[in-house]
């Protein structure tokens, strides 16, 4: 499937959303969730459907386009960018579900889907599906979702069901929002506006056709996008958020440096050689990491379009680029925050928010420090678990 609308059109939509988001950053943070009207605007712009198949009315865009769109929103506000990323990457499940279930969930173009893939729940097999209970933290954007998912370990009676390879069988269960309890737990340092509360279900029946597991279920949709490593796409979306936050921090320092004269100094911050050096080096570091990630994604997508199959090394290359971009973005934000001096610590300074936000993004399991070890083992040719790669 091709993209219904070119990259420029998608990025224009993202820019329009960013312009709507930017004046409301304080409101977003104070509310600890994305305001309902902004969530609707993002949905109407199609940004929650960047990875939904075109046959279902999604944008089915190239991975690099997804990163650029998320980055654009995140530059205005990290929480809005994160919610955009969660909605967009969760849309991948549409390509793996049976078509009737995919249309039931994604048929409304303004539907938002979110949730948590980690299998923290228990799903007991029943006729036609599963009886599910569980609690999942970090359900970003849950308050504006019509459907929420939660990963679960499958049980046959009291015993854990095992796959052919001996591992526990896991599936992501998709619930209607009214079936899910939202537990107000999101009191955090950064990305406060994402509303990433815990969600829980106590006794919900989920039809089998409303469950999926990327590692074992083949994609139903045939586009090259769905031959890409799904966790690589998720990691790349997180990197898009971090890149946007870092680009915003560079812009924030440039604005501050033009007007701030440090205590005891006679020149504005921008006239100082140390600040000029920081700006140049940070910009080069960010652009290098960004360019590398986009190039890796473009190359991988072209490979998928040619019918290529991604082995562990190919998947690792995407995760390596995404993790590097995220970690490098955090270092850039740190440099801008430090260069801003005492001014940067006040709530009125966007630099303190960028600092807090990016250091929450880096904690995600897809780009966390432990990722380096997994990738290093693959690069060294050592045996390692690659299921979530």
Residues 332 and 244 reside in one and the same domain: yes
Residues 153 and 85 reside in one and the same domain: no
Residues 247 and 324 reside in one and the same domain: yes
Residues 330 and 373 reside in one and the same domain: yes
Residues 132 and 148 reside in one and the same domain: yes
- Smallest CA-to-CA distance from 285 within 320, 336, 234 is with 336
* CATH assignment at residue 329: 1.20.140.10
Q: What's the CA angle centered on 232, arms 25 and 218, to 5 degrees?
A: 120
Residues 232 and 345 reside in one and the same domain: yes
Cα torsion angle, 30, 31, 37, 41, sign: positive
Q: Classify strands 147-156 and 113-126 as parallel, antiparallel or unpaired.
A: parallel
In angstroms, rounded to a whole number, what is the distance separating the alpha carbons of residues 208 and 212? Answer: 8
Residues 235 and 200 reside in one and the same domain: no
Q: 221 in a domain, yes or no? A: no
Residue 182 forms beta bridges with which residues?
A: 199
Q: 155 in a domain, yes or no? A: yes
Structure tokens at 33: 């969730």
Q: What is the DSSP letter of 66?
A: H
pTM reported for the whole predicted model: 0.96
8 A C-beta contact, residue 176 and residue 227: no
- For residues 229-257, one letter each, b for 16 or more C-beta atoms within 10 angstroms of the residue's C-beta and e for the rest, the string is bbbbbbbbbbbbbbbbbbbbbbebbeebb
Cα torsion angle, 215, 241, 65, 138, sign: positive
Structure tokens at 7: 């990259």
Please report where in the chains the tokens 């740190």 appear, as a residue: 334
8 A C-beta contact, residue 173 and residue 132: yes
Q: How confident is the model at residue 3, as a pLDDT?
A: 40
Residues 143 and 248 reside in one and the same domain: no
Residues 174 and 287 reside in one and the same domain: no
In angstroms, rounded to a whole number, what is the distance separating the alpha carbons of residues 101 and 217? Answer: 15
DSSP string, 104-160: HHHSSTT--EEEEEEEEEEEEEETTEEEEEEEEEEETTGGG-SEEEEEEEEEETTEE
Q: How confident is the model at residue 264, as a pLDDT?
A: 63
Q: 274 in a domain, yes or no? A: yes
| Final residue of a structural domain among 51, 74, 106 | 106
Residues 137 and 247 reside in one and the same domain: no
* Contacts with 374 (C-beta within 8 Å, 6 or more apart), sequence order: 316, 319, 384, 385, 386, 389
Structure tokens at 211: 């469950």
In angstroms, rounded to a whole number, what is the distance separating the alpha carbons of residues 84 and 88? Answer: 6
* CATH assignment at residue 28: 1.10.540.10
Q: How confident is the model at residue 261, as a pLDDT?
A: 81
Q: At what angle do helices 312-339 and 350-361 cross, to 10 degrees?
A: 160
Structure tokens at 112: 């938002």
Q: 165 in a domain, yes or no? A: yes
Q: 256 in a domain, yes or no? A: yes
Cα torsion angle, 295, 297, 300, 304, sign: negative
pLDDT in tens, 30-79: 999 999 999 999 999 999 999 999 999 999 999 999 999 999 999 999 99
Q: Which domain holds residue 298?
A: 228-379
- Smallest CA-to-CA distance from 94 within 4, 201, 172, 17 is with 172
| Final residue of a structural domain among 184, 212, 240 | 212
**Rounded mean pLDDT for each run of 10 residues along the chain, 389 residues in total:** 65 98 97 97 98 96 98 98 98 97 95 96 98 98 98 95 94 98 98 98 97 95 96 98 98 94 77 94 98 98 96 97 98 97 94 98 96 96 91
| Final residue of a structural domain among 72, 90, 106 | 106
Q: How confident is the model at residue 296, as a pLDDT?
A: 98
In angstroms, rounded to a whole number, what is the distance separating the alpha carbons of residues 298 and 304? Answer: 10
Q: 156 in a domain, yes or no? A: yes
Q: 2 in a domain, yes or no? A: no
8 A C-beta contact, residue 287 and residue 293: no
Q: 220 in a domain, yes or no? A: no
pLDDT in tens, 320-339: 999 999 999 999 999 999 99
How many residues belong to the chain?
A: 389
In angstroms, rounded to a whole number, what is the distance separating the alpha carbons of residues 173 and 115? Answer: 10
Q: In Å, how far from its chain's centre is CA 244?
A: 12
Q: Which helix (H) or strand (E) holds 241?
A: helix 230-257
- Using CA atoms, how far residue 314 sits from 16, 66, 147, 244, in Å, is 35, 20, 32, 25
Residues 67 and 170 reside in one and the same domain: no
* CATH assignment at residue 164: 2.40.110.10
Residues 34 and 94 reside in one and the same domain: yes
Q: How confident is the model at residue 75, as a pLDDT?
A: 98
Count structural domains, the chain.
Answer: 3
């Amino acid at each position: 499937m091709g993209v219904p609308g070119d990259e420029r059109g998608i990025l224009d939509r993202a820019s329009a959303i960013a312009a709507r988001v930017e004046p409301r950053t304080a409101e977003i943070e104070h509310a600890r969730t994305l305001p309902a009207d902004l969530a609707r605007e993002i949905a109407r712009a199609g940004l929650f459907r960047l990875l939904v198949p075109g046959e279902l009315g999604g944008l089915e865009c190239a991975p690099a386009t997804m990163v650029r769109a998320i980055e654009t929103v995140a530059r205005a506000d990290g929480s809005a960018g994160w919610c955009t990323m969660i909605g967009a990457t969760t849309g991948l499940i549409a390509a793996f579900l049976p078509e009737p279930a995919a249309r039931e969930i994604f048929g409304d173009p303004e539907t938002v889907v979110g949730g948590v893939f980690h299998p923290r729940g228990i799903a007991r097999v029943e006729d036609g599906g599963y009886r599910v209970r569980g609690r999942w933290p970090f359900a970003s954007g849950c308050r504006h979702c019509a459907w929420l998912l939660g990963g679960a370990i499958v049980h046959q009676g009291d015993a854990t069901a095992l796959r052919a390879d001996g591992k526990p069988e896991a599936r992501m269960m998709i619930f209607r929002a009214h079936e899910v309890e939202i537990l107000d737990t999101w009191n955090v340092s950064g990305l406060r506006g994402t509303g990433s509360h815990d969600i829980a279900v106590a006794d919900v029946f989920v039809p089998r056709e409303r469950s999926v597991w990327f590692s074992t279920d083949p994609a139903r949709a045939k586009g090259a996008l769905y031959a890409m490593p799904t966790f690589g796409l998720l990691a790349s979306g997180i990197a898009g958020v971090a890149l946007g936050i870092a680009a915003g921090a560079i812009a924030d320092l440039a604005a501050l440096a033009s007007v701030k004269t440090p205590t005891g100094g006679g020149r504005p911050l921008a006239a100082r050689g140390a600040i000029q050096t920081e700006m140049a080096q940070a910009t080069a570091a960010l652009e290098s990491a960004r360019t590398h990630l986009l190039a890796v994604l473009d190359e991988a997508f072209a490979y998928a379009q040619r019918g290529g199959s991604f082995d562990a090394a190919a998947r690792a290359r995407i995760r390596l680029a995404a993790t590097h971009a995220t970690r490098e973005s955090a270092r850039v934000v740190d440099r801008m925050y430090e260069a801003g001096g005492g001014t940067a610590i006040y709530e009125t300074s966007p630099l303190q928010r960028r600092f807090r936000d990016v250091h929450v993004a880096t904690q995600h399991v897809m780009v966390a420090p432990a990722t380096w070890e997994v990738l290093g083992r693959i690069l060294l040719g050592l045996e390692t678990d690659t299921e979530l790669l």
